Amino acid sequence: MVWVYGTYRKNIQDISHKCRKIVGHFKRSEQACRYLKKCQETLGLPNHSLIQDVVCRWNSTYLMLSRLYEQKAAINLYIAERGSIEILSVSEWADISNVISVLKPFYQATLDLSYESTCASVIIPLISMIQIKLESNDNDGAEIAMLKVNLKTSLSRPFEFIKTNTELLISTLLDPRFKQKYFSTAETRRCETLLKEQINTNEDSLEVLPAVSPTRSSETIHTNNLWESHDSDILSQGIEVKEGISQLKKQLDSYLNEQRIPRDSNIFEYWHQSPYFLLKKIATKYMSAPASSVASEQLFSAAGQLYSDRRTNLLGENANKLLFLHYNIKLFNFDY
């Protein structure tokens, strides 16, 4: 089986190399791009440009393969009429399709972690959803099954800590979209213990108020295949009433026994209106953004767009002000 996986991995590397050469051909030739557009129009395919991958970014390889597979018919027509580039065989196209289907959840998880409104509470659910996808083996061949096994093993090692990390446990439990869905009973109890340790207020001095209704975010994150089992489970939740012991226990039980809100709801607005004062205090502390370089990379990209051939003398001070406006004016809904 190891030999099969090693052979399959080498085969994918060879296919990726061929795909780079195909994309490179169109990137170097304006005439080839124009003819490819004619092929797209003839076949009724989207007028999309091919994407060249970057060696240091795996998701760019996924995007390259996805775009090539989308334009498979147009590329084959181009090769049949013009030649000049190496054609991919039927089995190689099938391998590309299989790799795309395996890598798609990873790419979707990358996007979910890159949104400006992303909270650290999505990390545990994302890892769980990817593991579910990797465990499914419907109509998988031996090579794809082994690829999934190796990906799952590679995923488990660096993320073993997430179910023992205090910050991730608390933020996930206090996310009204997830709550204890991805926790065992023991893990939920551990979260309750951690919550008690965070409380500095006299629990008996507060009353339990009715639960708030879910609120939707004005900026909706579109549902994708990675989350299908989570989203389909929203409407089938059961409600179980429990009798709490302490004030924190009462609030926590009341909170957990509410139905989870839809994934596109605004969790920050939820806690802003929440009557669970003890939990709200903790949520304010732990519902933070995940550690990521995405924001800084987007900032560099935005700065690069400010400078152009006609604005090369833009002062750094003015560039800083423009960047500040670019990222903050949306908070006022562009009403200024």
Residue predicted with more confidence, 273 or 322: 273
| Per-residue pLDDT, 203 | 44
CA atoms of 327 and 322, how far apart (whole Å): 9
Q: Which residues lie closer than 8 Å to 130 by C-beta, 6 or more apart?
A: 105, 106, 109, 155, 226
Q: pTM of whole model > 0.75?
A: no
Quote the mean pLDDT of the chain: 80
Rounded to the nearest 5 percent, the helix, strand and coil shares of the chain are 65, 0, 35
Q: Which range is least confidently modeled, 42-46, 56-60, 245-249, 283-287? A: 245-249
6-59 pLDDT tens trace: 555 667 788 888 999 999 999 888 999 999 999 999 999 999 999 998 877 778
Specify the range with the lowest mean pLDDT, choosing from 62-76, 171-185, 215-229. 215-229
Evaluate if residue 5 carries a pLDDT over 60.
no
Rounded distance, CA 179 to CA 182, Å? Answer: 8
pLDDT in tens, 133-183: 888 776 667 777 788 888 888 888 888 888 888 899 999 999 999 999 999
Please give the single-letter amino acid code of residue 149: V
How many C-beta atoms surround the C-beta of residue 204 within 10 A?
9
pLDDT 10s digits, 292-326: 777 777 777 777 777 766 677 778 788 888 888 87
pLDDT band of 271, cuts 50, 70, 90: very high
Q: What mean pLDDT is predicted for residues 286-294?
A: 83
Residue spans of the domains in the chain: they are: 2-112, 194-286, 294-332
283 and 121 Cβ atoms separated by less than 8 Å: no
Is it the case that residue 187 has pLDDT exceeding 70? Answer: yes
Check the CA dihedral 2-163-171-223 and report its sign.
positive
